[in-house]
């Protein structure tokens, strides 16, 4: 076994970045979703996008698609717990701006604003830090799915209560038949895929 010089190129170098995907973004998303029946409660079919997250080129395509749409238009990305944290953080990083989490009640330390809302299978409450938007007026709200719209509506209300404005709501998937957009009337809403 011989020594390898420090500046020697590896025999099978890995590409620094995956090749870009050429399919329309809606097709990329659709091909990487899976249905989980009876989750989180019987009768609900959960749309799982973890296969999208585990596919590097697909994840990059989604993050870049969102980032191109909002570059220069937003000052901060707001991610809704928990899956909104994943894409929201990546988009904030890509845009070079800050990220603000909206969390389930009782998870944030310090002074918070709180809002209750209805889900398609129950109700819940979310919170944001009261000082989260100091100096950052325009917010992009990120989540994985727009269903009944309750979570997104409550998040928009929290952002405005904390002194910022909502530039847009961005989701990977919209369950169109649940009419969640009706709770976001007058707001810009974009979904990569509607079912």
Q: Tell me, yes or no, whether 115 lies in a domain.
A: yes
d(CA 89, CA 78) in angstroms, rounded, equals 9
149 lies in a domain?
yes
In a domain, 160, yes or no: yes
What tens digit of pLDDT does each residue of 109-157 get? 999 999 998 766 678 899 999 999 987 789 999 999 998 899 999 999 9
Please give the Cα distance from 49 to 77 (Å, whole number). 20
- Within the chain, how many helices (H) and strands (E) appear? 5, 9
Backbone angles phi, psi at 126, to 5 degrees: -130, 160
Give the pLDDT of residue 7.
40
pLDDT, one tens digit per residue, over 5-52 is: 334 344 443 444 455 578 899 999 999 999 999 998 898 888 999 999
Given the residues 120, 136, 181, 187, the one annotated as active site? 120
Residue 139 domain-assigned?
yes
> For 160-175, how does the pLDDT look when each residue is reduced to its tens digit (9 = 90+)?
999 999 999 999 999 9
Q: How confident is the model at residue 3 (pLDDT cuts 50, 70, 90)?
A: very low
Residue 65 has pLDDT above 90, yes or no: yes
The pLDDT score that the predictor gives to residue 120 is: 61
User: Does residue 87 belong to any structural domain of this protein?
Assistant: yes
What's 178's domain CATH number?
3.40.50.2020
The answer to whether position 41 is within a domain reads: no
Contact 121, 41 (CB under 8 A): yes
Q: What is the mean pLDDT of residues 42-64?
A: 94
- What's the pTM? 0.86
- How far is residue 25's CA from residue 190's CA, in Å, rounded to a whole number? 12
Residue among 113, 114, 125, 185 nearest 149 (CA): 185
Range of the domain at 174: 73-194
Domains: count for the chain: 1
pLDDT, residue 8, reads 39
Structure tokens at 12: 């099978």
83 belongs to the catalytic site: yes
CB-based contacts of 83: which residues, under 8 Å, 6+ apart? 49, 143, 144, 145
Q: Catalytic: which of 83, 127, 167, 170?
A: 83
Here the tokens at position 194 are: 């509607």
Length of the chain: 195
For residue 186, being part of any structural domain is answered with: yes
Q: Is 71 helix (H, G, I), strand (E, B) or coil?
A: coil
103: annotated active-site residue: no
Question: Do 166 and 187 form a contact (C-beta atoms < 8 A)?
Answer: yes
Within-domain flag for 24: no
Q: What is the mean pLDDT of residues 65-83?
A: 97
């Amino acid at each position: 076994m011989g020594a390898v010089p420090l500046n020697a190129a590896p025999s099978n170098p890995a590409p620094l970045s995956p090749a870009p995907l050429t399919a329309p973004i809606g097709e990329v998303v659709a091909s990487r979703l899976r249905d989980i029946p009876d989750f989180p409660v019987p009768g609900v079919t959960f749309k799982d996008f973890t296969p999208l997250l585990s596919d590097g080129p697909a994840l990059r395509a989604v993050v870049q698609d969102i980032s191109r749409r909002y570059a220069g238009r937003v000052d901060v990305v707001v991610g809704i717990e928990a899956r909104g944290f994943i894409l929201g953080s990546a988009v904030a990083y890509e845009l070079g701006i800050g990220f603000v989490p909206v969390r389930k009640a009782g998870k944030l330390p310090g002074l918070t604003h709180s809002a209750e809302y209805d889900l398609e299978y129950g109700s819940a409450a979310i919170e944001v830090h009261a000082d989260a938007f100091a100096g950052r007026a325009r917010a992009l709200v990120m989540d994985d799915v727009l269903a009944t719209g309750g979570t997104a509506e409550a998040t928009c209300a929290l952002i405005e209560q904390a002194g910022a404005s909502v530039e847009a709501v961005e989701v990977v998937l919209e369950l169109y038949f649940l009419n969640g957009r009706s709770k976001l009337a007058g707001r810009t809403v974009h979904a990569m895929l509607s079912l």
